[in-house]
Chain A
Amino acid sequence: MLQSMLRGKGLIWGYAGLIILFLLPLILPRFYIYIVSIILLTGLLATSLNLVLGYGGIFQFHHAVFYGVGAYATALMLTRTGLSPWISFIVGPIVSAALGLIMGMICIRLSKLYFAMLQISLGSLVWIIVYRWYSFTGGDDGIHGIPLPEILSSPNGAYYFTLIITLICFLIMYKIVKSPFGSALQGIRDNPVRSEMIGINVKRHQLLALIIAGFFAGVAGFLFVVVDTTVFPDMLFWTLSLEICIMCLLGGWFSFFGPMLGAAIIIVLRTFVSTFTSYWTLVLGILMMFVIFFLPNGVLGYVEEKLHKGLIEPVIKE
């Protein structure tokens, strides 16, 4: 698996990273394991956004909706029905993918900023419904103490589960990006008119990309339920969507691993900044301005520029 994703030195680093990730629970205290789990699932969320934003060039500005809906669908299945929890884990992503299909079908005719705005509008609708439908979703309290299967209740169980699911999803997403479909998607991003000319059904490809992105965001959502055992309406709020965009930009959205790196940087920073100041968003805002000014291609883009070749294969450079 790794051999196709990384080359040369990168391969060694990749294996080393994997081994470290699997051994972490032996070294780190419980709190840090929780943070690493959050990093993994947020990285998965950011990477799923990057499928459409970075590779597809679609202005998916309300990605958090799919994350939140996946989490809520799983949580409601777990608390309200007596079905096996493993079924609810599948239901969450499927509901997200279905939502991706519905929202995609409505929005896909519009381009760029109009697409983004219509999507934010639809996403806000979903948020309002979740926020206001007190009897069903718990309103602004959310749902707490979601029951989980025995094996996932321990922090290490949740961690390993998150790690394995994230790795599988990464592999699948990487395959998708490298597949003919992924190439077509990138072609559409760079030149939609020419793509249409050579016989690519632009809208259908974009729609499929939106569904896939929605699905993986839903996976990230149910992983959050597993790790945190709570859901709350802020998971669907538009500010979170823009934070995910920031993660993509910070890590570098022209590389596959960029969003994961961005998510890791932001969550680690948030954890440490929050311990001595409550003004985390101020720090995030200033950091963001510096990134936009000095690192428009993100951290990985910068590393790539400095090294030229090496660690990670650049997807595309504009």
Chain B
Amino acid sequence: MDFIYTIFPPKVLSQVFVGLSRTTILFIVSSGLSLILGVLRIPNVAHGSLYMIGAFMAFTISKVFGGGDIGFWLALIGAPLGVALVSLIAERGVFQFLYEREHLMLLLLTFAFSLVFGDLVKIVWGAEYKSVPVPQVFQGFVNLFGGLPFPLYNLFLLIVGPIVAVVLWLIVNKTKIGKIARAAAVDREMVGAVGINVSWVFAIVFVIGCLLAGLGGALVAPTVSVTLGMDHTLIIEAFLIVIMGGLGNIWGALLGALIFGLSQSLGILIWSQFGIVFPYAAVIVVLLFRPTGLLKSTW
């Protein structure tokens, strides 16, 4: 296995894996955002807040069940469902009346939601840092390529990412609801004319997208300190990923997340103080050469 180290120094290799596990989170969140943008045409700024709510819900569920393995698995299921419920209420209560408005209004509306969600989180969970324990099963390290210590939990993330991608692809491309949603994205009125309740299709797509945000939040919770303001940077990153990959394109979101996550983790090696500059620079370069994103967008 030593030949790998001669090509890639261990430091680079470990940063690549750190970047890949970050990519998983970014992909899960931004694929939900991409889905909502592609089908409903809502630039959902509140998506980051839902991610934060997912993380906080994971904290609560895990705490209620004693912080052990059962708590973790229940949090992983319960938190996305809780977020889905919140988003369903928001969609049926507010968004469904405003689909015809221009993007600017929708963007500001979702921003209003993110402000409200931010303060609601402060009311419910308080402003302190929270931490979710890594479950027993995933504690410790594995040695990659014979000698590179890598957290087991991050390895778990690397497995979850592709699973989510495949499931999402199956839902969008192989199920009836996915086909209707794709049709509605292209021509909403026509889909309504053949007797399909477009409003509910939109609601389902919105809820699935938000569920992904909640899943991202629940997955990231054991690796970071759960705190207010974790939504602010993430939502910008998710938007940039979606734009870079092509609006509404799931694989575009994956590609964008890969570029973003890897350029961030490798950038830190090059210039530790300003490592975070690199992904933004990558977005600018991509958009300069491909103004509508890397892959085909649904718009």
Binding site for B on A (CB under 8 A): 59, 61, 106, 109-110, 112-114, 117-118, 120-122, 124-125, 128-129, 132, 237-239, 242, 245-246, 249, 279, 281-282, 284-286, 288-289, 292-293, 296
Which single residue of chain A is at the shortest CB-CB distance from B288? A106
Q: Are A109 and B115 in contact (CB-based, < 8 A)?
A: no
Chain A residues with CB below 8 A from B94, complex form: 289
Q: Are B115 and A288 in contact (CB-based, < 8 A)?
A: yes
Distance between Cα atoms of A282 and B113 in the complex (Å) = 9
Chain B residues with CB below 8 A from A242, complex form: 45, 107-108, 111
| B236: Cβ under 8 A from any A Cβ | yes
Q: Are B105 and A292 in contact (CB-based, < 8 A)?
A: yes
Which single residue of chain A is at the shortest CB-CB distance from B243? A117
The listed residue (B113, B236, B243) touching A114 by CB distance below 8 A is B243
Q: Are A121 and B283 in contact (CB-based, < 8 A)?
A: yes
Q: Are A239 and B103 in contact (CB-based, < 8 A)?
A: no
Return the 8 tightest CB-CB contacts between A and B, nearest first: A285-B115, A288-B112, A282-B119, A285-B116, A117-B243, A281-B115, A285-B112, A125-B280
Q: Are A121 and B113 in contact (CB-based, < 8 A)?
A: no
The listed residue (A109, A120, A281) touching B118 by CB distance below 8 A is A281
Q: Are A118 and B112 in contact (CB-based, < 8 A)?
A: no
Chain B residues with CB below 8 A from A239, complex form: 232
9 other contacts beyond A117-B287, A118-B243, A285-B115, with CB at 8 A cut-off? A114-B291, A118-B283, A120-B240, A245-B104, A245-B108, A282-B115, A282-B116, A285-B119, A288-B108
List 11 contacting pairs A-B, 8 Å CB cutoff, sorted by A: A106-B284, A112-B103, A113-B247, A118-B283, A124-B236, A239-B232, A242-B111, A245-B111, A246-B111, A282-B123, A296-B105
| B55: Cβ under 8 A from any A Cβ | no
Chain A residues with CB below 8 A from B109, complex form: 288-289, 292
Majority secondary structure, B binding face: helix
Distance between Cα atoms of A289 and B276 in the complex (Å) = 34
Distance between Cα atoms of A117 and B247 in the complex (Å) = 11
Which single residue of chain A is at the shortest CB-CB distance from B299? A113
Q: Are A132 and B273 in contact (CB-based, < 8 A)?
A: yes
Known: A113-B103, A117-B239, A246-B108. A128 touches B273 (CB 8 A): no
Chain B residues with CB below 8 A from A106, complex form: 284, 288
Q: Are A121 and B108 in contact (CB-based, < 8 A)?
A: no
Task: For chain B, give the interface size range.
Answer: 35 or more
Distance between Cα atoms of A132 and B280 in the complex (Å) = 15
Chain B residues with CB below 8 A from A114, complex form: 243, 287, 291-292
A302 to chain B, nearest CB (A): 16
Distance between Cα atoms of A286 and B119 in the complex (Å) = 11
Chain A residues with CB below 8 A from B120, complex form: 282
The listed residue (A121, A128, A279, A281) touching B240 by CB distance below 8 A is A121
| B171: Cβ under 8 A from any A Cβ | no
Chain B residues with CB below 8 A from A296, complex form: 101, 105
Chain B residues with CB below 8 A from A118, complex form: 243, 283-284, 287
Q: Are A129 and B274 in contact (CB-based, < 8 A)?
A: yes
Which single residue of chain B is at the shortest CB-CB distance from A126? B280
B168 to chain A, nearest CB (A): 22
Distance between Cα atoms of A239 and B110 in the complex (Å) = 12
Distance between Cα atoms of A239 and B116 in the complex (Å) = 13
Distance between Cα atoms of A194 and B280 in the complex (Å) = 35
Which one of A109, A122, A124, A285 has the greatest number of beta carbons of chain B within 10 Å? A285
Q: Are B276 and A128 in contact (CB-based, < 8 A)?
A: yes
Known: A109-B291, A285-B115, A292-B109. A121 touches B123 (CB 8 A): no
| B43: Cβ under 8 A from any A Cβ | yes
